[in-house]
Structures are given as C-alpha cells and as structure tokens.
Structure 1
Amino acid sequence: MSDLIQLAALGPRGRFQADNRHEIRSVTELPVAEMSLVPSVFVYRSLAALRQAPTMPAAERAAALTKAGQLFATETIADLSVREYEHVVSRVSGVPISAVRAATRYIADVARQVCQAVQDVRPAGADRDPRARRLVWSRRADVLAVNAAGNHPAAQSRWLEAVALGYRVAVRPSPREPFTAHRLVGALRAAGFRDDHLVLLPTEPTVSDDLIGGADLALVYGGEVIGKYATDRSVLTQGVGRSKILLTGQDWRHQVDAIVGSIGHAGGTTCTNTTAIFVEHDPAQVADAIAQRLANLPSRPPEAEDAVLPVQSVATARMLDTYLRSHGAGTTAWLGGDGIVDELGDGSAVLRPAVFQVGRGDAPQLGIELPFPCVWIAPWSSADGVTPLRNSLALRVIGADGQALIEQILDEPTIGTAYVGDCDDHWSTPELLPDGRIVEFLMQTKSYVNAVLC
C-alpha cells in the first residue's frame, strides 16, 4: 500500500491527508492510488475561507495562469512528472495516451489564453471601470464549486474561466480520474494563487451536496445530476453531449475520414464525439463506409503509442456491451452487433467501435451516448428541418446548399455550436468552445449612474 500514489486534499491551509480514503484502480483493477476524502465540516470551513480571501488583481491572475499552464505541462507536481501523470491517467481512465498528451497541451494553452478569452466575450459597452462607461461587468458571486468531470482530462480546463474572472474555486475531483484536477490545482498554487483561493476537496458522493449547496454558484457535470439541479439558478449543469452530423446532398465520400475522426477522436470519450448522423439520401451507404474504416482500428492497451480506442475493466466493458446490445435491438448493426469487448488478457478490454442504423429520425437510440466510438445513423429529409437535430452540443453540417437551413440551425437554442463545411466538429480553442462559455453564467452587467456623468 505504501507504493500507491497519495492524492491529498488541498485545503485553504495546505495539504490534508484524511483517514477516510478512496482507492483508485487501473483498467486492470489493480490499485494505483489513494485519494483522501474530506468530511462536511472540512468543506464548510474551506468555503468560509474562500469567502474571506481577497480577490487577486487581474494582472496578477493573468500572469499566474500563464505560469500555471507551463508548470502543468512540463514540471513535477505532487511528486508526479508530466510523463508519470499522463501514464497514470491513461491507465486509470482508459483514454489513449496520445489523447491524454494532447489534453495536457490543450490545458496549458487554455491557461495561457483564458484571461483574454473571457474578456473577448464581455458585452459591448460594459466596462469594469465606471468612470469610462455607465455599464459595469461584474461577477455574480465570489465562490464557485465545481463537481468535476472524469471522462477526459481536457474537461478540467473549463473552470479556469472562473479563476480568470477572480472567483475563488473549490473543486471536487471525479473519483473516476482525479489526477488532472489535482495536478491543475497544484500548478495554480505553485504559480502564485493562494491556498485560500483554490481548494481541491475530494468527498464522498453524499458530501458533494454540501459543497454545491454551500458555494455561491456551482458547475456540475454528469447526466445523473441534470435533473437534480435543473431548476436551480445557482447551478450550471453540464451533461451528455449528443453531438451530431447532418449529411445533405450526395457528395459525402471525400468527408469519410473527417466523419470517422469526429466519431473516434480521443477514443470516443469526449462530449464532442459524434454519436448520431442524419443522412439525406442513403444512410446504408454511409453506415457501410464508416463501419469499414472503424473496423480497422487496432486494439491496444491505453498507454501504447498506437492506442486509439478506450480501455476499461472486463466487467465494465461487458456491462457496456450488454447495454448496447439491448438498446440496439431492432436496428441494423453494421459494426458491433456481435459485441464490442476485446479482452487484452490482463483483466482489461478494449471497447471496439459500433455503428448502428435506425429506421427513423426520432428513434430513441439517437439519444444514446456511450464512452467509446458508437454512432447511430438515421434518415433525414428537408421536411424534417431542425427538429431531429435539437439537443446537440455540437452539430456539423456537410453539404448544405441553402442559407435558410443554416439560419434555422443558428436560431435553434438547443444546438450549442454549428460547424459548417470542412472544419472538424471536435475543433475548439479557448475562444470558441462547443458548449459555450461558463462566463455567461458567472458574470452579469449592472447599470451604473454617476451624477458627474449625467
């Protein structure tokens, strides 16, 4: 047990090793780390300390964030070098090592650019200096709680927007993959943020309610929490992606590589991976072409240099396989119908891709999102319009020859980001993100009237 990585809580007074700990296992079900779990009283005291802490000046925040990104991507933090960190994330999460490395670079880029990025979306006419404007852009609150995601390391970059805006942030790392959140908080502290500006509070699931309820605002991830907090205006929920592609016209074959990439990039583990494709003419031809490409992807352990598919324990893989087959009943399986579990012989299994064709654009399977390359292909006609495309984190449109359809897509409030033409639908930068900016949730515009200016 002494060889296990020890992930301490990071409280307002520094590192804290709790007696209650959570064991973190690799995809082969071997223990690799222990994470301290803090009780409710520790959460409440930490939130109180965050509220009392002064706000770091904007220029200092920008410099510290840039430095933190560099430290995150290059230095040893909490006794893990960047290569050791990437290896353990891959072994625990099952995300291919190449995708983990790309996420490391992405997080560093976000940290460097996020201060300018949040300012770029400030409402026109709003300025923090009331002497210059009569509108003031200000934080809605001071303390943000983050119930972090664990599906992919890059998801941790989102709450950096709050840090850039001067929020004090309390992060509850995902027990599924806590290493990225732990490393990022450690990098921010090493770069100059005070311990009472940023805390990492691993907790039991029952204690997470105390964290979310005790903060001013909260950012939560996971499909199971959306219903719980859907009507709470102090909580921003981030759930499943349900990203889609619309293929219109008949000239789609030159786009097959890009379509396959949108399904399988990062092992199919992100919220921007395509899970549904709507085809105007012949869905079967599209399904066949995609299945042929995905079938050739190799099965490798997640830390292998040529790994491109996710890996889970055999038990988890078989559970996902059972779910897929039961929900795929009545559809046409082009790939994965005989199973998606490819055991590696060490207690883990590769999750192979799946391609299923459904008969109509409102089939219930089109809402299914699974943590590996799995896509459902449906027919579409111009008469359907945007109705079957709703509730999409990202939508890529290929072949659309009319501006009217694009305008309808842009006007549809349940479609997060629209990609038109040859750009990748998993492409994003710190300025353009598929699910918008949490800054819109964190900030508000106030009117300011000064008698001198009237």
Structure 2
Amino acid sequence: MAAPEPYTLDALGPGGPYRARHRETVTDTAGSAVAELSLVPRLFVSRALGALHRAEPLPRERRLAALARAARVFREDEVHGLGYDAYERTVSRVSGIPLAAVRSAADEIADSARRALVGAYGALPGGAVLDWRDGRTRTGSAVWTRRGEVLAVNAAGNHPAPHALWLEALALGFRVAVRPSRREPFTPHRLVAALRAAGFGDDHVVLLPTDHDVAGELLGGADLALVYGGDDVVRRYAADPSVLVQGPGRTKILVTAGADWRAHLDTLVDSVAHHGGMKCVNASAVLVEGDPAPVAAALAERLGALPSLPAEDEKAGLPVQPLDRARALDRHLRERARGTVAHLGGDGVVEELPDGGAVLRPAVFEAPDLRGGWHTAELPFPCVWVVPWSRADGAAALGGSLVVGVLADDAEPADGELIDALVADRTIANVYVGDHPTHWMDRSVPHDGYLGEFLMRSKTVIRG
C-alpha cells in the first residue's frame, strides 16, 4: 500500500490560503513525511503586516462572539480537510506529545477562546474604564487602551497549550500574526483557520510560516511581539519593551522539614510527570530541607513505573522524540548529571520504539548541594533534580522560577516569613502553598503575569 500524500499546510495570509514555492517537509518522530508547510518570503510578511495595520478591529461584542464560535469549530469541526480526531493524533505523532496531553491542550485552547474576556480583562485596573464614552470620563477617569494594533507571535513548538494565550489579544482588539513552529504547525494552522471561519477577517489573524532569517521581519513589522524560546532568546530581547518573552520555566518545589512529603507524594509525582513533563510548569527540581535521598528514592520508584508507549497510544504518559534527538538529550543529561547520585536514568533515558522514534524515560538525580546549579536544569521530559536546602539558602535558591510549590506549614512564623519572601521575589511568577500541583492553572488568574499588562496601558480622559 502506498504511503498517504503529505498533508498540505498553506500559509494563511490576508488574501486567503497561500501555497508557497518554498515548502518544508514536516516529519513524525519516526522520520516519515506527514505534511508540507509553505514558507512565505519576506515581502509576503511585510505586505501581510501592512494589511493587519490597516484593518479595523471588530466591535468588542462581535469579537467575543467570534471567539466563542471559533472554540466550537476548533474542537468539533473538520478544518481544511482535517477532522478533530485526525488533528489530535497527527499532533501527537509529529510532536511526540502524549495523546492525552494533546487532547488536554486542545480543551485549554477552546476554553480560552470561550472565556477570553476573563483572561484578557483580568489585567484591567480597578480605576479604569474600557471606553472614553463611559460617563466616568466626564469628571476624569483612566481609560484602558491598546499599546498598539498588531501583535506578532513567534510560537512555541514544544506544546500546543501556549496558543491559548494569544487569543486574549484578539479579545482586546489586536490583529495577530502567528509564526508557527515548524516542529508542530498543525495547532496554529487549525486555530487560525477556525478563527477565520468564526468571523474574524483574513486581515485580522494570519499564519505566516517563515525561515528563521525572515522572522525578524515579522517581529519588526508588528507593534508588539510575544516570543517563545530558551535562554538565548530571553537574553536577545530582555531590553526590548515591545517584546514579551516566554522563556524556560525552571519550576521548583520546596519541601520544608515540618512537611510530611509522603502524604503529598502523588502531588510531587504529578508535578514532575503530568502530560509527559514537557511543559514549563512541570517541576524540574525538588529542594528538601533535610535529607533529600528518601524523597529522590520515592520519586524514582513511582516515575520508573511509567510505561514506554507510542505517543498516540491512549495510555501514553511519556514523550517520544526522533532517535537522534533523544540520544542528544541523553548525552546532555549525562554530562549535566556529573557529580550527582542517579536514582533513575543513570544508565540512560532512551528507549527505542519498534516502529521508530524513542521514548524519553524519566530521570531522578540527587544533587549534593545548590552550588552546582543542577536544580536550574530543565529538560523536555520528566527529569527532576532533588537537592538539599537550608533556611540559610532562603528564597533566593528558588529564584528564576515560573512556579514555586511550597510544602510548608504557613501557620508557623518561620514558614510564613519564607512564603512572604517567595511572594516578594520578582523573579518568581507564581507561588503555590500546600497540596497543589505546579501545573495548576485557571483562566481567571495570571500565568506569567496577565498578557493584558503587556498589551494595554491606562491614559486619563476628561471631557464635558
């Protein structure tokens, strides 16, 4: 039987779908061709951004209604010839993300579209109004207004869930240009197509796959940009106020001496391994006040029981990668783990699958101290560093974290002071005290601050 023809992923420009002469093959984790992705040239990008700048946003109520319709189209309909079940299995096959995680991410995206108002307006200052016509401006009021008109999104490819965030920009009236990751372009392609089918104009939201050397045209031609990447990307844009960078999470859990960690072992394991351990909110380090060895041993026993299955299997819980990439990650891990005690993964984390690709097995390493920096290493599978911590190390040892989970007694004065310090630390985005997994999220609270804090500003209007 002949192999099926690769699926065609056209760019979605202001004039409709566009099939470029320059196309890139998207392969699955076994190396088989799955799709051909059109890569648009620099001129196409600049003209598309010009169209977005000229377009007027839909009225607020129409925007929100269109987002709600898009949620249904994205989650239920056939979009550009791809039904939902085929979509989720294709994403799992190409990205190596466990099928259950893909399904959960799709639900998150649809929920964000339905409830975009909740997330987008979460940043609205209490003293501001949404329209200069509001009666409060007659005596003087703050009016919440956009910092620009066009947002560029240089999207992540490690997981579909981040695509839930930029929908808030559409809710606020921005026009949005998305540059998909060539690693997983199916989710943004489906989402942009669903938004258009639901009522957003072709000049309101576009999909612009490009080579890396054209990406700068996209970011430079927009008013604001949302960029995903590693430490190199964070350093590149750190001083640019028009760019919001979503970098590594380096999520951690602190277990204080007074906490019964055994009673919270399920939460510890879930925080590390939830949906394959591939997200920035998965815990990559556990700091223990006291002896870390028992915690490491218990985590290793539980994580080691996870099965190695193809990502598309309903029971899969671990990520799959092409064999060469899996081996490269394994080599990096072994080098990084020098000087630690391996409780799991010391003999390698790569398990080849019969039909191609390799599962990345969990790893648990006990580090001797914080000075070696092992606790700052983050890898795209369940890999956790268990490290001793003391009160002298303080909150600073947990800095630079998207989430810090704390197993402590917040009624104890010393623990209360510690939590005060964690909440005050400007390099820690979220603090979860008690039995809450680090991947916990809710649309009504910020993930890494509210996106609206970046997209909007308040200005004073007085009239009458």
Post-superposition CA distance 1:360-384 (Å, at most 9, x none): 1232221111110001111111221
The answer to whether the 8 A contact 1:394-1:435 is kept is no
- Select 1:58's aligned residue among 48, 60, 69: 60
The answer to whether the 8 A contact 2:349-2:360 is kept is yes
1:16-31 correspondence runs (5 A): 16-31=18-33
Mapped partners of 2:446, 2:381: distance in 1: 21
Identity of matched residues, %: 51
Per the alignment, residue 407 of structure 2 pairs with 398
Q: Secondary structure at the match of 1:54?
A: coil
Mapped partners of 2:17, 2:120: distance in 1: 30
1:402-421 correspondence runs (5 A): 402-421=415-434
Per the alignment, residue 374 of structure 2 pairs with 365
Per the alignment, residue 238 of structure 2 pairs with 230
| TM value normalised by structure 2 | 0.95
Per the alignment, residue 107 of structure 1 pairs with 109
Report the number of matched residues: 451
Post-superposition CA distance 1:217-249 (Å, at most 9, x none): 101001131111111111111111100000012
| Residue ranges of structure 2 left out of the alignment (5+ in a row) | none
Task: For residue 250 of structure 1, report the CA deviation from its aligned partner.
Answer: 4.3
Instruction: Return the letter of the residue paired with 2:217.
Output: D
Instruction: Return the letter of the residue paired with 2:144.
Output: W
Post-superposition CA distance 1:99-145 (Å, at most 9, x none): 11111111111111111332232001100233324111000000000
Post-superposition CA distance 1:156-212 (Å, at most 9, x none): 111111111000000000011010011110111010000000000000011001100
Mapped partners of 1:211, 1:67: distance in 2: 28
1:205-224 correspondence runs (5 A): 205-223=212-230, 224=232
| TM value normalised by structure 1 | 0.98
Per the alignment, residue 345 of structure 1 pairs with 354
- Select 1:241's aligned residue among 249, 252, 264: 249
2:285 is the counterpart of 1:276:
yes
Task: For residue 2 of structure 1, report the CA deviation from its aligned partner.
Answer: 7.2
Larger mean Cα displacement after TM superposition, 272-281 or 432-441: 432-441
Task: For residue 403 of structure 1, report the CA deviation from its aligned partner.
Answer: 1.8
The answer to whether the 8 A contact 2:259-2:409 is kept is no
Per the alignment, residue 265 of structure 2 pairs with 256
1:43-442 correspondence runs (5 A): 43-130=45-132, 131-133=135-137, 134-223=141-230, 224-248=232-256, 249-401=258-410, 402-442=415-455
Q: Secondary structure at the match of 1:83?
A: helix
Instruction: Return the letter of the residue paired with 2:287.
Output: F
RMSD between aligned residues: 1.1
Instruction: Return the letter of the residue paired with 1:363.
Output: G
Post-superposition CA distance 1:383-413 (Å, at most 9, x none): 2110100000011101244321111111111
Mapped partners of 2:108, 2:286: distance in 1: 27
Q: Secondary structure at the match of 2:129?
A: coil
The answer to whether the 8 A contact 1:43-1:210 is kept is yes
Mapped partners of 2:229, 2:122: distance in 1: 28
The answer to whether the 8 A contact 1:272-1:434 is kept is no
Q: Secondary structure at the match of 2:8?
A: strand
Q: Secondary structure at the match of 1:78?
A: coil
The answer to whether the 8 A contact 2:122-2:445 is kept is no
Larger mean Cα displacement after TM superposition, 355-364 or 55-64: 355-364
